[in-house]
Structure 1
Amino acid sequence: MRHSRAEKAATHQRIVQIAARRFRERGIDGIGVADIMREAGLTVGGFYKHFDSREALVMEALTVAFAGLEAWEAAARGSLRRAILAYLSPGHRDDRTDSCPLAALLNDVSRGVRPGVASDAANVYTEQLIRVFDFFERLLPADGRDDRNDRGARARLVFSACVGALTLARAVDDPALSREILDTVADRLIDAFAPAEVPASA
């Protein structure tokens, strides 16, 4: 019995991990339960042994996807320059399955938001966005004119620019333009908000 429970838990986690990657790659509505179960080596009929609904899978997958942001934050090692360069790198642009869910799921979540209607996905997305805004706010260098509201506004500006640049760089079919978008926005953000930082080593 103990072995069976462990197997079920491992299978459950495998399904969630696959969903977290595929939702970022194709969008929440871009892949069905049947495709996710097939990739996990399971039948569609086994889905409800693990989840009450597709929405339950979506919420678990979002939790896993957002947990990946912690690795990017740790890699920044307290440097705004490193955070920007890692986010606006060709590697991040090209790795859609394990990339930032705030960028990857932006359109999916925004399409599900309706005035006066609660959305669990939008709630989770909003919480994580606020957390990343706070992360950028902590990285911004302080100066004598700084106050909390100004730093918060600048943090929102920096991350919004990062998300916009990453999304545009993924959308264009010109590799040179895609790279130019990443490099230009990264350079301008660093010049404006982290000019005094020592350049990150290669």
Structure 2
Amino acid sequence: MGHSQAEKAITHAKIVAIASQRFRQKGLEGISLADIMSEAGLTVGGFYKHFPTRDALVVDALQHAFSELDAWEEVAKGDLKAAIRSYLSSAHRDDVIRGCALSSLANDVSRAHPDAKVAFEGRLRHILTMLEALIGSDSKKSRRRKAIVLFSACVGALSLSRGVSDDKFSRELLDATVDELLDLYVPV
């Protein structure tokens, strides 16, 4: 890779990282290409040297955001209790720009380009498979259903906790969901 190709790759990665954070913070339609490119120190005209369309940036930004879930998966690996507590923590709630894009962008992706939906679905399926393995010895169908309900409850509680202004109520939403999920899914 030549020097200019290396610089282009670095710039591309910078644009994707910025878009990944801003999309989670403001929604897929809540920030313009001009704002993203400006934050990257570039002009809108330079955008098309990196991406054929805005939709292509959205997909790359989603993939980047989803890769940030790898750290949560490492915490959760082999420990369903840790997975639930970590996902439904105040720290995760408060870190929207680095938090789970599945919870912050689910509604936006439902209206996005089909490629964004494919990326979203791929990561969701991956997480469900991980959770199935953590759930234990039930039948495959039962583990799958439990994984779906568990993660849906986590995403819902996290989203709701971010949508209220009262910190005590927000914490109550998270804590109640943690307690109920642990009672349902983690044997004593």
> If the length of structure 1 is used for normalisation, what is the TM-score?
0.89
Q: How many residues align?
A: 188
Q: Distance in 2 between matches of 1:22 and 1:108?
A: 13
Equivalent residue for 1:163, pick from 129, 143, 155:
155
Q: Does structure 2 conserve the Cα–Cα contact (< 8 Å) formed by 1:141 and 1:193?
A: no
Displacement of 1:119: 0.9
SS class of match (1:105): helix
The answer for the alignment partner of 1:200 in structure 2 is none
**1:94: how far off?**
0.5
Structure 2 match to 1:100: 100
For residue 83 of structure 1, report the CA deviation from its aligned partner.
0.2
Distance 1:125 1:49 in 2: 25
Q: 1:17 is matched with which residue?
A: 17
Once the two structures are TM-superposed, the CA of residue 195 in structure 1 deviates from its matched residue by: 3.2
Unaligned runs of 5+ in 2: none
- CA offset at residue 110 of structure 1? 1.6
Q: Which has the larger radius of gyration?
A: 1
TM-score under structure 2 length normalisation: 0.96
Q: Is the 8 A contact 1:21 1:65 kept in 2?
A: yes
Q: Counterpart of 2:98 in 1: which secondary structure?
A: coil
Query: Does 2:120 align with 1:125?
Result: yes
User: d(CA) in 2 for partners of 1:79 and 1:102?
Assistant: 21
Measure the CA separation in 2 of the matches of 1:77 and 1:109: 27
Query: Is residue 18 of structure 2 the alignment partner of residue 6 of structure 1?
Result: no
Query: Counterpart of 2:97 in 1: which secondary structure?
Result: coil
The structure carrying a bigger helix percent of its residues is: 2
Structure 2: how far apart are the matches of 1:9 and 1:131? 27
Unaligned runs of 5+ in 1: 113-117, 197-202
Quote the Cα distance in structure 1 between the aligned partners of 2:42 and 2:122.
33
Following TM superposition, by how much is the alpha carbon of 1:77 offset from its aligned partner in structure 2, in angstroms?
3.0
Work out the percentage of aligned pairs sharing the same amino acid: 52
SS of 1:29's partner is coil
